[in-house]
Amino acid sequence: MAPWLLAQHEDRIIQNDDEEWSAEGTDAHNRAEAYLKAYVAGENPEAPTDELKVYTDYVTSTYDVWKEDDAMLLVEQKAPLPHDQDYLGTVDAAIVTDDRLHIIDLKWGQGVNVSPTFNSQTAIYARAFYDSLTAVGLGVEMDSTDMMLITIVQPRYRGDNPVKTWSITFQEMMDYTDLLVSKAELIYEKKNLRFNPSDSTCQFCDARPWCTAYNGWALENLPTMEGAIPAIEDETLVDLYLNRKKMVKWINNLEKHVTKSVSEGGYLSKYLGFAPGKRKGNTTWEEMTERSFVTRLRKLFPFIKREELYKEIRLSPTQVRGQLLDAEQSALIDDLTFRPDPKPTIVPISEVPPPDEEVTDLLA
Q: Which of 166, 214, 250, 274 binds ligand SF4 (CB under 6 A)?
A: 214
Task: Report if residue 202 touches ligand SF4, rule: CB under 6 A.
Answer: yes
User: What phi, psi does 169 have (nearest 5°)?
Assistant: -75, 160
C-alpha span between 59 and 54 (Å, rounded):
9
- SS3 string, the chain, reads CCHHHHHHHHHHHHCCHHHHHHHHHHHHHHHHHHHHHHHHCCCCCCCCCHHHHHHHHHHHHHHHHHHHHCCEEEEEEEEEECCEEEEEEEEEEEEECCCCEEEEEECCCCCCCCCCCCCHHHHHHHHHHHHHHHHCCCCCCCCCCCEEEEEEECCCCCCCCCEEEEEEEHHHHHHHHHHHHHHHHHHHHCCCCCCCCCHHHHCCCCCCCCCHHHHHHHCCCCCCCCCCHHHCCHHHHHHHHHCHHHHHHHHHHHHHHHHHHHHCCCCHHHHHCCCCCCCCCCCCCCCCCHHHHHHHHHHHCCCCCHHHHCCCCCCCHHHHHCCCCCHHHHHCCHHHCCCCCCCCCCCCHHHCCCCCHHHHHHHC
Task: Report if residue 254 touches ligand SF4, rule: CB under 6 A.
Answer: no
Q: Do the beta carbons of residue 249 and residue 218 sit within 8 Å?
A: yes
Task: Report if residue 211 touches ligand SF4, rule: CB under 6 A.
Answer: yes
Which is nearer to ligand SF4, 38 or 193 (by Cβ)? Answer: 193
Which is nearer to ligand SF4, 37 or 256 (by Cβ)? Answer: 256
Q: How far is the CB of 334 from ligand SF4 (least distance, A)?
A: 43
Q: How far is the CB of 212 from ligand SF4 (least distance, A)?
A: 8
Which is nearer to ligand SF4, 169 or 253 (by Cβ)? Answer: 253
Which is nearer to ligand SF4, 120 or 292 (by Cβ)? Answer: 120
Closest listed residue to residue 15, CA positions, set 283, 278, 251, 282:
278
Q: How many residues bind ligand SF4 (CB under 6 A)?
A: 10
Which is nearer to ligand SF4, 107 or 208 (by Cβ)? Answer: 208
Q: How far is the CB of 211 from ligand SF4 (least distance, A)?
A: 3
Which is nearer to ligand SF4, 200 or 345 (by Cβ)? Answer: 200
Q: How far is the CB of 250 from ligand SF4 (least distance, A)?
A: 11
Task: Report if residue 201 touches ligand SF4, rule: CB under 6 A.
Answer: yes
Q: Do the beta carbons of residue 79 and residue 91 sit within 8 Å?
A: yes
Which is nearer to ligand SF4, 130 or 217 (by Cβ)? Answer: 217
Which is nearer to ligand SF4, 208 or 246 (by Cβ)? Answer: 208
Which is nearer to ligand SF4, 116 or 197 (by Cβ)? Answer: 197
Q: Which of 208, 218, 259, 262 binds ligand SF4 (CB under 6 A)?
A: 208
Scanning residues 180 to 199, which ones bind ligand SF4 (CB under 6 A)? 195, 197
Task: Report if residue 274 touches ligand SF4, rule: CB under 6 A.
Answer: no
Q: Which of 34, 40, 72, 213 binds ligand SF4 (CB under 6 A)?
A: 213
Q: How far is the CB of 273 from ligand SF4 (least distance, A)?
A: 30
Identify which range of 13-21, 49-57, 58-66, 203-211 contacts ligand SF4 by CB under 6 A. 203-211
Task: Report if residue 58 touches ligand SF4, rule: CB under 6 A.
Answer: no
Q: Do the beta carbons of residue 101 and residue 147 sit within 8 Å?
A: no
Task: Report if residue 207 touches ligand SF4, rule: CB under 6 A.
Answer: yes
Task: Report if residue 155 touches ligand SF4, rule: CB under 6 A.
Answer: no
User: What phi, psi does 196 have (nearest 5°)?
Assistant: -130, 75
Q: How far is the CB of 214 from ligand SF4 (least distance, A)?
A: 4
- Which residues here bind ligand SF4, judged by CB under 6 A? 195, 197, 201-202, 205, 207-208, 211, 213-214
